[in-house]
Structure 1
Amino acid sequence: MNTILITGATGFLGGAVTVNLLKKSENNRLLLLVRGDSPAEGLSRLQSNLAKFGVAQNLLDTLTTDNILIGDLAEPERFTADPRLDSVTHVLNCAAVASFGANPYIWKVNVEGTFTFASRMNQVSGLKRFIHVGTAMSCAPEANTLVTESKLNTLRDQHIVEYTWSKATVEKMMSEMLPELPLVIARPSIVVGHSDHGCTPSPSIFWVFRMALTLGKFMCELDDRIDVVPVDYCADALELLLTAENVDKSIIHISAGLNSSVTFAEIDKAMAKASGNVPVGKSYQKVNYRELAESKKNFASLFGPCNERIVLRAMNLYGHFSKLNVVFCNEKLLELGMPPSSKFTDYLHHCVTSTQDSTIAELMAVDFK
């Protein structure tokens, strides 16, 4: 039986993959790193998060405090002495400060804490695989390209936000300084919503599409493509990578690729259909940031109560990502037997339904914590 340590199980992607493995608990022993003052509190937080994925209560009740490792990557020294770590066979490191804001913990958690944790697991003699979840954007991709997996050699000024720079940095550190670690770097593209539950588990990033199409203008062309996958597809891929052969020391995109990526025009039509509105279509305008800023007097009426400064900052950041018009090659993943991802437009109606009672400001809070 494998003993699988998962970090980030109270988050979006970590929660989704925990749900997958919990359903197969007869084959796996789960150890879950969770923040909290006690195992009981950590278990409660974990169960509350997993419930957002539609997990039945009787399955949630199979989790006990024995599955909980209280700790925080911001303070790895508080849990790395736990003897249970020496029995771990597989690690799924999903934890990170995934904020596009100026969160002071980004470097402390994503780089310093993660590297300390990886160094500790590198000492475990029975460790078979350490899957580190990065981001496809960590490579600072060149615009208008099909991006293949490669090792990183980027500089800070190539990155739009500190988050992607932190992910690039820790990948490089682990690869170069821990050569014996059975490392697999999984780089998801843009993870938005759930195929069945929409944005109930998390509204992360979905609000960007809603905001841009409500405004009728943004920094990309309608014909630009965007590589989006649902969180459950990403979780399935991570589960596959746990036991797939010949993937150690690999870098693998979890992405929509050429066949399942979509254009903003397709998103516009799907969003309109799901909302009962008319597509923006030909009235859409590609604008620069200055032109977006001139619309701020309309934000409250369009988006509901909001902080105009934060909304403008979000538009600037996500606008830069949107106009890259990149697709991330998924051939490595498909060769391992993973089926193609569904298209964002196939399940977008679930995202619309699950967020219809929330304002833009409420939805975007998850990405600017």
Structure 2
Amino acid sequence: MNTILVTGATGFLGGAVTVNLLKKRENNRLLLLVRGDSPSEGLTRLQGNLAKFGVDASLLNTLTAENILIGDLAEPERFTDDARLDAVTHVMNCAAVASFGTNPYIWKVNVEGTFQFARRMSLVSGLKRFIHVGTAMSCAPEANTLVTESELNTLRDQHIVEYTWSKATVEKMMTESLPNLPLVIARPSIVVGHSDHGCTPSPSIFWVFRMALTLGKFMCELEDRIDVVPVDYCADALELLLTAENVDKSIIHISAGLHSSVTFAEIDKAMAKASGQIPVAETYQKVNYRELAESKKSFSSLFGPCNERIVLRAMNLYGHFSKLNVVFSNDKLLELGMPPSSKFTDYLHRCVTSTKDATIAELMEVDFK
């Protein structure tokens, strides 16, 4: 039986992974790193997050305080001396400050704390695999390309946000400084929604599409492609990588690839159909940031009560990503037997339904914490 340590189980992707592992608990012992003052408090937070994925209460109640390792990657020294770590056979490291804001903990958690944690786990003699979840954007991709799974060397000025730079940095540190760590770097592309539950688990990034199409203008062309996968597909892929044989111990994309990536025009049509509106294609304008800023007086009427400065900053950041027009190769994952992802447009209607009563300002809070 494997003993699997999951970090980030109270988050979006980590929660989806934990749901998968919990359903196969007869084959796994689970140890879940959770922030909190006590195991019972951590368990309550964890169960609340997993419930968003539609998990039955009877299954949630199989988790106990014994499954909880209280700790925080911001302060790894507070949990890395726990003797239970020495029995871990597999690590699924999903924890991170996944913010496109200026959160001061980005570097402390994503680089310093993550590296200290990985170094501690590299000393565990029975550790078979350490899956580190990064982001496909860590490679600072060149626009209009099919991005392959090979890049570890980037510079700070190539990165639009501190988050992707932090992920790239810790990947390089672990690869170069921890030769005994059985490291696999998994880089998901853009994770949006859930195939069955829409944005109920998290509205992360979905609001960007809603915002741009509501405004009728953005920094990309409608024919530009974007590589989006649902969180449950990403979790399934991570579960496969955890124990699959012959896994390339370097970088593996979890992405839509050429088969399942979609254009913004396709998203526009699917969004209009789901919301009962007319596609914006005929009136859509590709604009620059200055032109977006000129529209700020209309933000409150279009998006609901909002902070215009934060909305503009979000538009600038996500606008740069949107106009990259990149697709991430998923050849390695497919070779391991993983089926292609569903398309974003296949389940987008569930994202629309699950967010219809929320304002854009409310939805975007998760990405600017």
Q: Which residue of 2 aligns with 1:367?
A: 367
Q: CA separation in 1, counterparts of 2:224 and 2:155?
A: 26
Q: Which residue of 2 aligns with 1:180?
A: 180
Q: CA separation in 1, counterparts of 2:14 and 2:191?
A: 12
What secondary structure does 1:132 align onto? Answer: strand
Matches within 5 A, 1:328-367: 328-367=328-367
| One-letter identity of the residue aligned with 2:335 | E
What secondary structure does 1:120 align onto? Answer: helix
Q: CA separation in 1, counterparts of 2:92 and 2:164?
A: 19
Q: Which residue of 2 aligns with 1:19?
A: 19
What secondary structure does 1:282 align onto? Answer: coil
Q: Which runs of 5+ in 2 are unaligned?
A: none
Q: Which residue of 1 aligns with 2:302?
A: 302
TM-score by length of 2: 1.00
How many positions carry a matched residue from both structures? 369
Matches within 5 A, 1:1-369: 1-247=1-247, 249-369=249-369
| Distance apart, 1:153 and its partner CA | 1.0
Would the aligned equivalents of 1:237 and 1:254 in 2 still touch at CA under 8 Å? yes
Q: CA separation in 1, counterparts of 2:72 and 2:27?
A: 27
| Distance apart, 1:249 and its partner CA | 2.1
| Distance apart, 1:248 and its partner CA | 5.1
| Distance apart, 1:192 and its partner CA | 0.0
| One-letter identity of the residue aligned with 1:104 | P
TM-score by length of 1: 1.00
| Distance apart, 1:247 and its partner CA | 1.6
What secondary structure does 2:252 align onto? Answer: strand
Would the aligned equivalents of 1:129 and 1:248 in 2 still touch at CA under 8 Å? no
What secondary structure does 2:181 align onto? Answer: coil
Q: Which runs of 5+ in 1 are unaligned?
A: none
Q: CA separation in 2, counterparts of 1:291 and 1:77?
A: 48
| Distance apart, 1:29 and its partner CA | 0.2
| One-letter identity of the residue aligned with 1:229 | V
User: Cα deviations across residues 276-318 of structure 1 (Å, max 9, x unaligned)?
Assistant: 0000012100000000000000000000000000000000000
| One-letter identity of the residue aligned with 2:36 | G
Q: CA separation in 2, counterparts of 1:279 and 1:304?
A: 21
Q: CA separation in 1, counterparts of 2:164 and 2:150?
A: 15
What secondary structure does 1:259 align onto? Answer: helix
CA RMSD of aligned residues (A): 0.5
Would the aligned equivalents of 1:215 and 1:302 in 2 still touch at CA under 8 Å? yes
Q: CA separation in 1, counterparts of 2:329 and 2:224?
A: 16
| Distance apart, 1:246 and its partner CA | 1.6
| Distance apart, 1:250 and its partner CA | 2.3
% identity of equivalent residues: 89
User: Cα deviations across residues 32-75 of structure 1 (Å, max 9, x unaligned)?
Assistant: 00000000000000000000000000000000000000000000
| One-letter identity of the residue aligned with 1:17 | V
| One-letter identity of the residue aligned with 1:40 | S
| One-letter identity of the residue aligned with 1:195 | S
Q: CA separation in 1, counterparts of 2:282 and 2:263?
A: 14
| One-letter identity of the residue aligned with 2:351 | C
User: Cα deviations across residues 246-293 of structure 1 (Å, max 9, x unaligned)?
Assistant: 225221000000010000000000000000000001210000000000
Would the aligned equivalents of 1:149 and 1:329 in 2 still touch at CA under 8 Å? yes
Q: CA separation in 1, counterparts of 2:249 and 2:118?
A: 14
List 4+ stretches of structure 1 deviating above 2 A: none
What secondary structure does 2:272 align onto? Answer: helix
| Distance apart, 1:180 and its partner CA | 1.3
What secondary structure does 2:25 align onto? Answer: coil
